[in-house]
Amino acid sequence: MTERTEGPREETTPADTPAVSRISRRDFLKISGAGLAGAALLGVAGCGGGGGGGGGSAVGITFATTPDPTGTFQTLIDEFNSQNSGQIEVTYREMPPDSSQYFDQLRTEFQGGSTNISVFEGDVTWPAQFALPGFVLDLSDRFTEEEQQGFLEAPLQTNVYEGGIFGVPWRTDAGFLYYRRDLLEQAGISAPPATWDELKQQASTVQQQSGTRYGYVFQGADYEGGVVNALEYINSAGGNVLDPNDSSVVTVDSPEAREGLTTERSMVEDGITPQAVSTYKEDESTAAFLNGDAVFLRNWPYVYAQAGDSAVSSITQDQVGIAPLPASSDGESVSGLGGWNLMINALAEPEVQDASYELIRFMTDPEQQRRLATEGSYLPILQELYDDQEVQDAVPVVALGAEAIQNTVPRPVSPFYSDMSLVMAEQFNASLNGEEDPETVTSTLQQELTDIIEQGQGLA
Ligand code: GLC
């Protein structure tokens, strides 16, 4: 346990984080008297907790993810535990469903030097933020270029930071338009909407005929999902928050960005979307749709699996159609690149890190990727599964996913992203609920995002 190349980096925490985080990780352990051995003791949660087999020699690791409404993660973990019985014992820990809250909770744990979590599922925007302060392991030695073969390029890139690779893609995400196939047919509509204007027309036609409560629901709350949704409107109108060629240049104060926000707000103003959408996250919007209360829903692929579960859905998969998100009238369909990578706590004991990487290999092998797709309708990160007819037939989102993935736009890759996200979430939410007009929002954001980047770069 002496020198490890992947060990935590020192003194690299951004200047705008609280003072405590500026103590280097190694200093922290010295001060707290824990040392790596002490930290490792904390890390070996789960050891002996559940029939670890003769003598408790299994390495205990704790695996954290967002809650999985489809139950597939638990199935895979059980499978891993039974295959590795007596050697590795995974304890599963569910974190908040809201990506922003989950991030805050993890960051607080890592700043405190905790090794309670050994390996975790992290949002695509996190690697740079956790890599900079040295919270997660650089996996370059293990996840080599050869190992990376066959992975989709865009999710892979979200893990790259300053020449290292800090996570392994696990599942990718793209926003889709879910629609009530049955209600559209009854209204004589033969194809789902290609533009936002068409969506409004179709929604009101169907609402009038069927009495469905809402036309369209999506995620508009003041959190990460609200950022993704607003960015989709902005991107599909041809706007950007940052210059795609230079992510230190803020470009949000543009007519295109204002057009995008105007379209988003018009869903509420035109009565297609309830005002309450500005409080909706994934769960609220999904519930409205699966309850039969909405004609259209914007959401991630796993919702399709939920529609097949009568315990949570009063409609069936037969009633649900899936399409790319609509485009602005002169633009193209754009979907936010979402998804989750697997990362390892840099402070975990070497044997815990090794066992964690075993779990990562298992979770990303073709067989488990296939199960994630067929049982949970999660989009795989291995190209070969998109070419697999059996998977395509079983999971329509995968068939559509191949195309949707081509249209995804990533969020800014920045070690300061969480601060940027906070102000975007707040401003986009103010625009959606009508508190601020798009002009004010785009000019406020231009200023605030520039300040964050300059401060982060130590220029201010
Ligand atoms: C989904 C996406 C993730 C995104 C989140 C926002 O989980 O995979 O990337 O940040 O939704 O709510």
Q: Is the pLDDT of residue 172 over 80?
A: yes
Please state whether beta strands 160-161 and 164-165 pair in parallel, antiparallel, or not at all (unpaired).
antiparallel
The Å distance, Cα 198 to ligand 1 centre, comes to 26
Q: pLDDT tens-digit profile of 123-132?
A: 999 999 999 9
Q: What is the pLDDT of residue 244?
A: 84
Is residue 159 in contact with ligand 1, taking CB distance under 6 Å?
no
The Å distance, Cα 6 to ligand 1 centre, comes to 28
Q: What is the pLDDT of residue 400?
A: 82
Is residue 300 in contact with ligand 1, taking CB distance under 6 Å?
yes
Mean pLDDT, the chain, as a whole number?
A: 88
Q: What is the pLDDT of residue 66?
A: 97
Say if residue 386 is in the same domain as residue 416. Answer: no
Q: Is residue 8 part of a domain?
A: no
Q: What is the pLDDT of residue 393?
A: 86
Residue in 99, 300, 372 to alter for ligand 1 test, most ligand atoms within 8 A of Cβ:
99
For the residues 220-245, what does the mean pLDDT come to?
95
Q: Is residue 121 part of a domain?
A: yes
Is-contact 226 298, C-beta < 8 A?
A: no
Q: Is the pLDDT of residue 374 over 50?
A: yes
For the residues 382-411, what does the mean pLDDT come to?
86
Q: What is the pLDDT of residue 96?
A: 97
Q: What is the pLDDT of residue 459?
A: 60
- Among the candidates 390, 409, 428, a domain finishes at 409
For the residues 392-412, what does the mean pLDDT come to?
83
Q: Is the pLDDT of residue 90 over 90?
A: yes
Q: What is the pLDDT of residue 38?
A: 36
Distance CA 34, CA 113 (A): 9
Say if residue 329 is in the same domain as residue 440. Answer: yes
- Which protein residue's CA is at the shortest distance from atom 3 of ligand 1? 338
Q: Tell which wins on pLDDT, 147 or 56.
A: 147
Is-contact 230 260, C-beta < 8 A?
A: yes
Indicate left, alpha or beta for 193 from its phi (over 0: left) and psi (-120 to 50: alpha).
beta
Query: Highest-confidence range of 52-66, 392-406, 423-437, by mean pLDDT?
Result: 423-437
DSSP string, 283-317: HHHHHHHHTT-EEEEEE-THHHHHHT-TTT-SS-G
Phi and psi at residue 424, to the nearest 5°: -65, -45
Q: What is the pLDDT of residue 56?
A: 62
Greatest C-alpha distance within the chain: 71
Closest of 359, 358, 356, 389 to residue 374, by C-alpha: 389
Minimum-distance ligand 1 atom for the alpha carbon of 281: 12
Distance CA 8, CA 241 (A): 32
Q: Is residue 375 part of a domain?
A: yes
Domain of 256: which CATH number?
3.40.190.10
Residue in 101, 106, 228 to alter for ligand 1 test, most ligand atoms within 8 A of Cβ:
228
For the residues 380-393, what does the mean pLDDT come to?
92
Is residue 228 in contact with ligand 1, taking CB distance under 6 Å?
yes
Say if residue 47 is in the same domain as residue 138. Answer: yes
Of all residues in the chain, the percent with pLDDT exceeding 70 is 87
Say if residue 148 is in the same domain as residue 230. Answer: no
Distance CA 333, CA 407 (A): 7
Closest of 261, 269, 267 to residue 198, by C-alpha: 267
| Number of other residues whose CB lies within 10 A of the CB of residue 87 | 14
Domain that holds residue 427: 175-336+412-459
CB-based contacts of 395: which residues, under 8 Å, 6+ apart?
Answer: 304, 373, 374, 377
Confidence of residue 426 (pLDDT cuts 50, 70, 90): very high
Is-contact 312 299, C-beta < 8 A?
A: no
Say if residue 288 is in the same domain as residue 437. Answer: yes
Distance CA 300, CA 347 (A): 33
The tokens for 194 are: 């290609």
Strand, coil or helix: 10: coil
- Which protein residue's CA is at the shortest distance from atom 6 of ligand 1? 225
Is residue 230 in contact with ligand 1, taking CB distance under 6 Å?
no
Q: Tell which wins on pLDDT, 458 or 151.
A: 151
To which residue do tokens 């240049």 refer? 249
Say if residue 114 is in the same domain as residue 230. Answer: no
Q: What is the pLDDT of residue 40?
A: 37
Letter for the amino acid at 68? Answer: D
For the residues 166-180, what does the mean pLDDT come to?
96
Is-contact 219 280, C-beta < 8 A?
A: yes
Q: What is the pLDDT of residue 19?
A: 30
- The structural domain count of the chain equals 2
Q: What is the pLDDT of residue 318?
A: 95
What's the CA angle centered on 47, arms 44 and 51, to 5 degrees? 165
Is residue 336 in contact with ligand 1, taking CB distance under 6 Å?
no
Q: pLDDT tens-digit profile of 287-317?
A: 999 999 999 999 999 999 999 999 999 999 9
Say if residue 227 is in the same domain as residue 264. Answer: yes
Residue in 300, 302, 413 to alter for ligand 1 test, most ligand atoms within 8 A of Cβ:
300
Q: Is residue 144 part of a domain?
A: yes
- Which protein residue's CA is at the shortest distance from atom 5 of ligand 1? 225
Confidence of residue 342 (pLDDT cuts 50, 70, 90): very high
Q: Is residue 13 part of a domain?
A: no
Q: What is the pLDDT of residue 415?
A: 81
